Amino acid sequence: MIVTLVLLLGAVLILGGLGSCRRSSRVSPSAEPAERPDKIIIYFIPKNLGNPYFDAVSRGFYNAITQLGAENFQYLYKGPDTAEAASQIPYIEEALQNRADAVFIAANSNDALNDIFDRARRQGTRIYIINQDIPGSESHRDAAIMPVNFDTIGNSLMDQFGKIMNYEGQFAILSATDDAPDQNTWIDLIKQELADNPLYRRMKLIKVVYGDDQPEKSAAEAEALLARYGDLKGMIVPTAVGLPAAAAVIREKGLSGKIKITGLGLPSGMAEFLADGTCEGFQLWNPPYEGLVAVYLVWAEKRAGFIPAPGAVFSAGKLGEYTILPNGQILTLQTPMVYDGSNIGEYAAQF
């Protein structure tokens, strides 16, 4: 039976008190020294280090490990400096050399890592994709921990934006890249809502532009929208890089409160724009929850005999129970979280 422990999600984590848990490393990977054989060895390999989003995911790993007992784990947060297709291979190799129980990886390629994933699983190391999946290569991983049900993002953003806009006015979308599959799906859902839902009959999407998930280009695209469309009343920015960049432009132009803006963003990056009235609210999932679910998944396997198969259910402590879906995915949240003046202080301190 899985022992459910209370997760103090808001507590400040002191990394130095985690015993065998390892901090992130940019140096060339090398095997960690062997520790007690009964420790659960977990690797988290992000797309690249230095990314505050993945630091937030790692905080969830630390939080769960603290609650379950740091003496039970050896946790290593390691990865490459650049998000290239094969750049994560040396870190997976290290995990195999260290006989890791599980590797959680935000893969930089949908298929370039399949061979080493297969080798890891033959060795007995679980391969879990985290924060995404690897479409077309699902048979090479054990499961995928998803941050949210992505099918709900477009409708949820439009629902919030409609209220902010008082259901009228012209608006634009500032997205990531023009071939980003998730963002493009959300944009299609927004267009469908505009066409089908009479609530939005006085709203009009006039332009979709792309900032390539770069702050400078996102800011430039926001400036161009404001210059070109004099009747523009708002922007939806479904990217955590583009949202603060666009909000900064709106503020610099003296248009806070006049040009409405929402999208997907990190609370730490958007707190100042909520404080000065540039943004009334935005959305995202909860990155630390992904790490929490990850640790409880491995804990269930190693301490309660849980087998990660479609339909299987495990407990993630205070977050409740999670079911592995038929496609092998685990949805951390069903819908995105809304961040506004009522909760921004709490979450901006976390990620």
Residue 298: both structure tokens together: 């491995």
| pLDDT one-digit tens code per residue, 139-164 | 999 999 999 999 999 999 999 999 99
Whether the per-residue pLDDT at 8 is higher than 50: the answer is no
What is the percentage of the chain residues whose pLDDT exceeds 70?
89
pLDDT tier at 42, thresholds 50, 70, 90:
very high
The mean predicted confidence, pLDDT, of the chain is 90
Task: Tell me what pLDDT residue 27 has.
Answer: 37
Whether the per-residue pLDDT at 6 is higher than 60: the answer is no
- Please, which residues bridge with residue 145 across strands? 130, 330
Rounded Cα–Cα distance for residues 318 and 346 (Å): 18
Span 167-184, mean pLDDT?
92
| pLDDT one-digit tens code per residue, 279-330 | 999 999 999 999 999 999 999 999 999 999 999 999 999 999 999 999 999 9
Among 340, 297, 264, residue whose Cα is nearest residue 128: 297
pLDDT tier at 19, thresholds 50, 70, 90:
very low
* Minimum mean pLDDT range among 19-33, 113-127, 136-150, 336-350: 19-33
Task: Tell me what pLDDT residue 158 has.
Answer: 98
Task: Tell me what pLDDT residue 26 has.
Answer: 42
The three state secondary structure string of the chain is CCCCCCCCCCCCCCHHHCCCCEEEECCCCCCCCCCCCCCEEEEEECCCCCCHHHHHHHHHHHHHHHHHCHHHEEEEEECCCCCCCCCCHHHHHHHHHCCCCEEEECCCCCCCCHHHHHHHHHHCCEEEEECCCCCCCHHHCCEEEECCCHHHHHHHHHHHHHHHCCCCEEEEEEECCCCCHHHHHHHHHHHHHHHHCHHHCCEEEEEEEECCCCHHHHHHHHHHHHHHCCCEEEEEECCCCHHHHHHHHHHHCCCECCEEEEEECCHHHHHHHHHCCCCCEEEECCHHHHHHHHHHHHHHHHHHCCCCCCCCEEECHHHCEEECCCCCEEECCCCCEEEECCCHHHHHCCC
Rounded Cα–Cα distance for residues 295 and 318 (Å): 13
pLDDT tier at 37, thresholds 50, 70, 90:
low
Task: Tell me what pLDDT residue 29 has.
Answer: 47
* Minimum mean pLDDT range among 4-18, 78-92, 162-176: 4-18
How many CA atoms within 13 Å lie on the side-chain side of 74?
Answer: 17
pLDDT tier at 53, thresholds 50, 70, 90:
confident
Residue ranges and CATH numbers for the domains of the chain are 38-147+286-334 (3.40.50.2300), 151-284 (3.40.50.2300)
What is the percentage of the chain residues whose pLDDT exceeds 90?
83
| pLDDT one-digit tens code per residue, 68-96 | 999 999 999 999 998 888 999 999 999 99
Do 238 and 171 touch, CB atoms closer than 8 A?
A: no
Task: Tell me what pLDDT residue 179 has.
Answer: 83
Whether the per-residue pLDDT at 181 is higher than 90: the answer is no
| Higher-pLDDT residue of 21, 244 | 244
pLDDT tier at 24, thresholds 50, 70, 90:
very low
Cα–Cα distances in Å, from 277 out to 56, 256, 265, 340? 25, 6, 16, 11
